[in-house]
C-alpha cells in the first residue's frame, strides 16, 4: 500500500518536501490557500525535476512518475487519510496553531502531525491538539532537494513512537537526522546560525570589518561553505530577524537580540537575494 503524505504550505520549503517525498514513492497532497500559490509550488517542483533530469541525476520517466504522485489542492480536508502531515507555513505561532487545531479534527487518530518550524517550540504548537504525543518537529533545510539534514524535535509530550515514525519518514526520503531532545526555541541549528549571524551583523554595523571580510574569515578560518552575512542574504534577512526575535523572546538571552540595522534593512525592503539587496547587492 502506498504511503500518503500531506504537506500544508506550497512555498519553497513545502514544495521541496513534497518533491523529495514524491520522488521517494510517497503519494503527496500539497495544500495551500490559493491556486496561485499551488501553481508556483508545482511549477517549481517541475522545474527542479527537469534540472535533475538534465544533469543526469534523475531518469525522465521517474520524474514524470513522481510528479504524477503529487496532488495540489486548496482543501485541508484532503489530509484526512494521510499517514503523516508536515506543516510548512510562515513562522508565526498563531498561524501554525490554527492549522494544527484544524488538522487535529481532520486527520486519522494514528497520523503523525509534524511542523517544519525552525524556531517555534513544538510544545506550543502541540498544545492546541487533543493528542500532543503525536506532534513532532521535522525541520528540513533549504533547498530541501539538495540539503541532507533533518532536525527532529521532541516536544514536551512527543512520544518515542512518534519520534521514530518521523525519523523513518525523513530517512526514507533521503535525509540524515539529528534529534533535539529538549524543546528549546531555535532548537540546535537555528540557535547556532542566529547567534553567529547576530554577532556578524554587530561587527558589520559597528564598522569593525566589511561584510566581505567577515564572511571570508568564517569561510577560510572555520571552513564554512558560506559566510554568515551571505547566509542571511540567501535565507532572507527578514527570516533570520524573525528567528532571532523568536529565540530572544523565549530565552531573554542577549546574544540573540537582533541588531538595529537588521530591523532597518527589513523595514526598507533590503531582504537579501530575493529583493536584490541585503548585505550584498545582487
Q: How many other CB atoms sit within 10 Å of the CB of residue 137?
A: 27
CATH fit for domain 190-275, picks 3.30.450.40, 3.40.50.300, 3.50.50.60, 1.10.1040.10:
1.10.1040.10
pLDDT confidence of residue 110: 96
The verdict on whether omega for the bond into residue 143 sits within 30 degrees of 0, i.e. cis, is yes
Q: What is the pTM of this model?
A: 0.90
Mean pLDDT by 10 residues, the chain (282 residues): 90 96 98 97 97 96 97 97 96 94 96 93 96 98 94 98 98 97 92 96 98 98 97 94 91 95 98 97 96
pLDDT confidence of residue 18: 98
* Chain centroid offset of residue 139 CA: 5
Q: Helix (H, G, I), strand (E, B), or coil: what is residue 281?
A: strand
> What distance in Å separates the CA atoms of residue 251 and residue 254, rounded to the nearest whole number?
9
- Under CATH, which number does the domain 4-180 receive? 3.40.50.720
* CB 234 within 8 Å of CB 226: yes
Q: Where are the domains of the chain?
A: 4-180, 190-275
* CB 267 within 8 Å of CB 236: no
pLDDT confidence of residue 97: 98
Q: Helix (H, G, I), strand (E, B), or coil: what is residue 110?
A: coil
Question: What is the strand order of the sheet 4-8 is part of?
Answer: 70-73, 27-31, 4-8, 84-87, 112-115, 135-140, 149-154, 176-180
DSSP secondary structure letters along 238-267: HHHHHHHHHHHHHH--GGGSPPHHHHHHHH
pLDDT confidence of residue 2: 64
Amino acid at each position: 500500500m502506498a504511503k500518503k503524505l500531506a504537506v500544508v504550505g506550497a512555498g519553497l520549503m513545502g514544495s521541496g518536501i513534497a518533491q523529495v517525498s514524491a520522488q521517494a514513492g510517497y503519494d503527496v497532497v500539497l495544500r495551500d490557500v490559493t491556486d496561485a500559490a499551488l501553481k508556483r509550488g508545482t511549477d517549481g517542483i517541475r522545474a527542479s525535476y527537469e534540472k535533475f533530469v538534465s544533469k543526469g541525476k534523475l531518469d525522465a520517466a521517474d520524474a514524470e512518475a513522481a510528479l504524477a504522485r503529487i496532488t495540489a489542492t486548496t482543501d485541508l480536508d484532503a489530509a484526512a487519510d494521510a499517514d503523516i502531515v508536515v506543516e510548512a507555513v510562515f513562522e508565526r505561532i498563531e498561524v501554525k496553531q490554527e492549522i494544527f487545531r484544524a488538522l487535529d479534527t481532520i486527520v486519522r487518530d494514528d497520523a503523525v502531525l509534524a511542523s517544519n518550524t525552525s524556531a517555534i517550540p513544538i510544545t506550543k504548537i502541540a498544545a492546541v491538539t487533543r493528542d500532543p504525543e503525536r506532534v513532532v518537529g521535522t525541520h528540513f533545510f533549504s533547498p530541501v532537494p539538495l540539503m541532507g539534514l533533518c532536525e527532529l524535535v521532541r516536544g514536551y509530550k512527543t512520544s518515542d513512537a512518534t519520534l521514530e515514525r518521523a525519523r523513518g519518514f525523513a530517512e526514507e526520503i533521503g535525509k540524515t537526522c539529528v534529534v533535539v531532545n529538549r524543546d528549546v526555541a531555535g532548537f540546535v541549528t537555528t540557535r547556532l546560525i542566529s547567534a553567529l549571524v547576530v554577532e556578524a551583523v554587530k561587527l558589520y554595523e559597528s564598522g569593525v570589518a566589511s561584510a566581505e571580510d567577515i564572511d571570508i574569515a568564517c569561510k577560510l578560518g572555520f571552513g564554512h561553505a558560506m559566510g554568515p552575512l551571505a547566509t542571511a542574504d540567501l535565507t532572507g534577512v527578514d527570516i533570520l530577524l524573525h528567528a532571532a526575535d523568536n529565540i530572544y523572546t523565549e530565552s531573554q538571552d542577549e546574544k540573540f537580540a537582533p541588531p538595529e540595522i537588521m530591523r532597518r534593512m527589513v523595514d526598507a525592503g533590503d531582504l537579501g537575494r530575493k529583493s536584490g539587496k541585503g548585505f550584498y547587492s545582487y
